[in-house]
Amino acid sequence: MSVTFPSPHSYTGEDIVELHLHGSRACVNGVLSDLGERPGLRQARRGEFTMRAYEAGKLSVYEVEALGSLLTADTERERIQALNSGGGKEVLEEWRKGLVEGMAHAEAVIDFSADGDNTDLQDVEQVWGGVTKKIRTLRERMERELSSSVGELINDGVSVVLTGPPNAGKSSLINKLLKRDFAIVSPEAGTTRDVMTANIDLDGVKCKVSDTAGIRDAEGAEGIGVERAKDMREGADVVVEVRGYGEEEEEEEEGVGGGEERNVIRVRNKIDLRKEGEGGVEGVIDISAETGEGMEEFIDQLRVRVNEILDSGGGSASTEGDGTLAPESVVVTRARHREHISNAVEALLRFEEMAGYGEGGVDMAAEELRLAASEIGRVVGRVDVEDVLDSLFNDFCVGK
Ligand SMILES: Nc1nc2c(ncn2[C@@H]2O[C@H](COP(=O)(O)OP(=O)(O)OP(=O)(O)O)[C@@H](O)[C@H]2O)c(=O)[nH]1
Ligand SMILES: [Mg+2]
């Protein structure tokens, strides 16, 4: 069976024919090899359909990125965020419109001042005052959006780093979390050296969990592993401090453990070795990576921390009054968006500084507005984005 999509109402805007076949490899290969022998026909490259849709103006870069996120989405939150990218695009277009309006007003003020007619000077100043006020509000709105990294966290995953002394059971714990034999576990201290990272889906939120080398004074390859472990701990969204049962005390003295940092979860592993009648420690979750005891409480605690991070990362337009996420208003979902919006904010700060300085100032200030508008335009963008697109389309599969 075949279905035709005449131009311009197809995905790419061109004429498209879809062949619907039986799914067996032999059928598909038979048809493909027949088509391949006909002049002018070849297989599509990865993401070529989307590339053509983009070139035909059917999709913006922002939408292509969202489609890329959708195709690679591991979790429900990622999927919803990608589907809601339209909301982000609308916000961006509203910002750009505001900036372009500001530019138009600036032009008017410049023209008016050039006329040398001072009778309506007060009106002009009033108009200009209104423009600068609007731009300031817009800039504050952008800063609020930048202060939230929820979009990127949902896309990239929340990083959870397991750390602690050698032999505490970090590798055993990651295996338990992943429900598979992922990292090597051995009674030898200093088994893990490289950082080992795998994703888990925590109620629809992607978490990148990393097992790291046990922290101790070490040389050679293990020493490098320890350095990597420390770097990972530093950059983690959530730190899980793992101690082996009976090993907590000496660690505290060395100043490795403890800490009341908000993003730290402290666990005491190997609780199956606990002696009769011995109690727990305040603020520390007892688990056994071997028997699974306490794992539920640990995962609950992890869930609480991850949600706290997402909620506080919102703290703005992306968080509703009751603290629940409103993903439809998330604008920044990639580092690329952050970069352009930050550039726009900087330009607007310069604008605000100059806007007050008489006539010459308006000229220069207007230039900053233009710059800010073009940066915001790039986020949605059709401006010099070839490199973005190249790397993006590579993530797509053939046929998309
Ligand atoms: N009894 C008991 N033993 C455990 C438990 N968890 C881990 N172990 C044992 O502790 C030893 C060390 O476990 P690992 O998971 O390799 O510890 P690690 O923290 O990754 O160690 P390094 O990679 O060397 O830093 C192994 O012999 C495990 O079998 C537990 O809950 N109970
Ligand atoms: Mg290990």
Q: What is the pLDDT of residues 106-123, one digit of tens each?
A: 877 777 766 655 556 667
**Confidence band for 323, pLDDT divided at 50, 70 and 90:** very low
Please give the distance, rounded to the nearest whole angstrom, from the Cα atom of residue 173 to the centre of ligand 1: 8
Residue 241: what pLDDT? 96
Q: Determine the distance from the C-alpha atom of residue 87 to the mean position of all C-alpha atoms in its chain, rounded to a whole number.
A: 16
Q: What is the pLDDT of residue 118?
A: 58
Name the least confident of 181-195, 229-243, 262-276, 305-319: 305-319
pLDDT of 44 reads 85
Q: What pLDDT does residue 317 have? A: 35
Mean pLDDT of the chain: 84
What is residue 272's DSSP assignment?
G
Average pLDDT over residues 309-315: 68
With vertex at residue 199, the alpha carbon angle to CA 61 and CA 213, rounded to the nearest 5 degrees, is 125
What's the pLDDT at 319? 38
Please tell me the distance between residue 184's alpha carbon and the centre of ligand 1 in angstroms. 10
How remote is the CA of residue 48 from the centroid of ligand 2, in Å? Answer: 43
Where is average pLDDT lowest: 91-105, 217-231, 308-322, 344-358? 308-322
User: How far, in Å, from the CA of 363 to the mean position of ligand 1?
Assistant: 67
Identify the top-confidence range among 101-105, 161-165, 245-249: 161-165
Q: What is the pLDDT of residue 238?
A: 96
In this structure, which residue's CA is closest to atom 30 in ligand 1?
A: 270
Displacement of CA 315 from its chain's centroid (Å): 16
Q: Which of 162, 171, 182 to mutate to test the pocket of ligand 1 (most atoms within 8 A of CB)?
A: 171
Q: What is the pLDDT of residue 61?
A: 86
Hey, which of 163, 170, 172 would you mutate to test ligand 1's pocket, going by the most ligand atoms within 8 Å of its Cβ?
Answer: 172
**What is the distance between the alpha carbons of residues 325 and 119, in angstroms, rounded to a whole number?**
52
Between CA 106 and CA 351 the distance in angstroms is 11
- Rounded Cα distance between 274 and 328, Å, is 48
Using the mean position of ligand 2's atoms as its centre, give its distance from the Cα of residue 100 in Å: 56
Mutation to probe ligand 1, out of 163, 167, 230 (largest number of atoms < 8 A from CB): 167
List pLDDT tens digits, range 163-199.
999 999 999 999 999 999 999 999 999 999 999 999 9
Q: Which of ligand 1's atoms lies nearest the C-alpha of 289? A: 31
| Residues 294-332 as b or e (16 or more Cβ within 10 Å = b) | bbeebbebbeebbbebbbebbeebbbeeeeebebbbbbb
Q: Report the alpha-carbon distance of residue 349 to residue 368 in Å, rounded.
A: 9
From CA 118, how far away is CA 112, in angstroms rounded? Answer: 9
Cα(218)–Cα(220) distance, rounded to whole angstroms?
A: 7
From CA 200, how far away is CA 140, in angstroms rounded?
A: 35
| Ligand 1 atom closest to 291 (CA) | 31
pLDDT at 315 over 70: no
- Ligand 2 centre from 141 Cα, in Å? 45
> Residues lining ligand 1, judged by CB closer than 6 Å?
166-172, 185-187, 189-192, 213-214, 269-270, 272-273, 288-290
